[in-house]
Amino acid sequence: MTRIVTVEGARRYDVIIGRGLQDELVAAVPERAAKVAILHAPVFNDLVGDLSEQLRDAGHATIDIELPDAESAKTSQTATACWDALGAAGFTRTDCIVSLGGGATTDLAGFVAATWLRGIDVVHAPTTMLAMVDAAVGGKTGINTTAGKNLVGSIHPPRAVICDLDLLGSLPRADLAAGFAEVVKAGFIADTTILDIVEADAAAALDPDGDVIEDLVERAVRVKAAVVADDLTESVERVLGREILNYGHTLGHAIEKVGDYSWRHGDAISVGMVYAAALSVAGGGLTDDDLRRTREILVSLGLPVDYPEPHHWPQLLDAMRIDKKARGATLRFIVLDGFGRPALLAGPSDEELAEAFREVS
């Protein structure tokens, strides 16, 4: 059964969730697009051939742009190469980009679409759990710099997001599990039924061919869709809003940067969520039992809950201070006043930060 989640806002679009959705992907490309660029991870060369043939049958000329793998795609050099390819192919404002890959692919392809001729259509076909429930939905695009992750980017909502769950079957188990960090994040900040489903049977949740995963993907997408419809741009004037989606991400992004992006995003966010839960306990929002439950849920999915190199704490702290969620010299963390009740912690002391870090080190 195909499920549809509509993301409301100034640029309304659908997230289509189901199996065998290549026809829906082709149909999502606007008829006016004379040319379509498929930006994809290297592993999808065979799939790109089939997709190109279908797009040509539908009347679109296609170009194939293979991207570097994973986070190595998200550089200014890769973006420049994509712009050069679009220019050489004569792409105009009515043409379209299709992304095919994980979160790094959708981030980069969205950024290229946002910046080419000040914005052309992009259709995302995420191929990982992480991309389906997070990166492809919401319109955030970006690339990394030496200063940090996603510090350069824009907001550019896609024309559509096509989540073909059949693509999850080819994922390595560790990559599938890493994507579940963003699923349970949605449970921690909003839909606590997600936590109940995972606790009832984590193995069933992780089965890429089962029915449970369809429900979890839909629930996680609905959480993000509701948040971004209310606060598309993460306005600095809002006390809370889209910022709640950053639960676990302040330390998580620092772990990625200090580790030179050798960590899977979801693994880093998992440790970051334990850290945020520890800050929540210190502030009285969560109990020690809640912290223990947080750890148990993440461990049941095969996610890490501890950081193995505590001597990197000074570098992690420095990285958090230039995180894009900071406001001036003030560090900001999303914490919880109970599961499903996010709150803001602004300006914790260095002692409070270090004490919480002991919970994950």
Q: What is the pLDDT of residues 21-33, one digit of tens each?
A: 999 999 999 999 9
Q: Residue 260: CB partners within 8 Å, gap ≥ 6?
A: none
Q: What is the tens place of the pLDDT at every residue in 89-136?
A: 999 999 999 999 999 999 999 999 999 999 999 999 999 999 999 989
- CATH assignment of 3-170, among 3.40.50.1970, 3.40.50.300, 3.30.200.20, 2.70.240.10: 3.40.50.1970
8 Å CB contact between 11 and 217: no
Tokens of 172: 């390595």
For the ranges 26-35, 61-70, 270-279, 326-335, which has the lowest average pLDDT? 326-335
Partnered with residue 125 across adjacent β-strands are 100
Q: Which of 303, 305, 301, 344 is nearest to 194 (CA)?
A: 301
> Per-residue DSSP letters for 292-357?
HHHHHHHHHTT---S-S-GGGHHHHHHHHHT-TT-BTTB-EEEEESSTT-EEEEES--HHHHHHHH
Tokens of 83: 């712009």
Q: Residue 343: CB partners within 8 Å, gap ≥ 6?
A: 240, 285, 334, 335, 336, 337
8 Å CB contact between 345 and 283: yes
Domain residue ranges in the chain: 3-170, 173-357
Q: Residue 20: CB partners within 8 Å, gap ≥ 6?
A: 164, 166
CATH code reported for the domain at 173-357 = 1.20.1090.10
Partnered with residue 1 across adjacent β-strands are none
Separation between Cα atoms, residue 256 and residue 104, nearest integer Å: 13
Mean pLDDT of the chain: 92
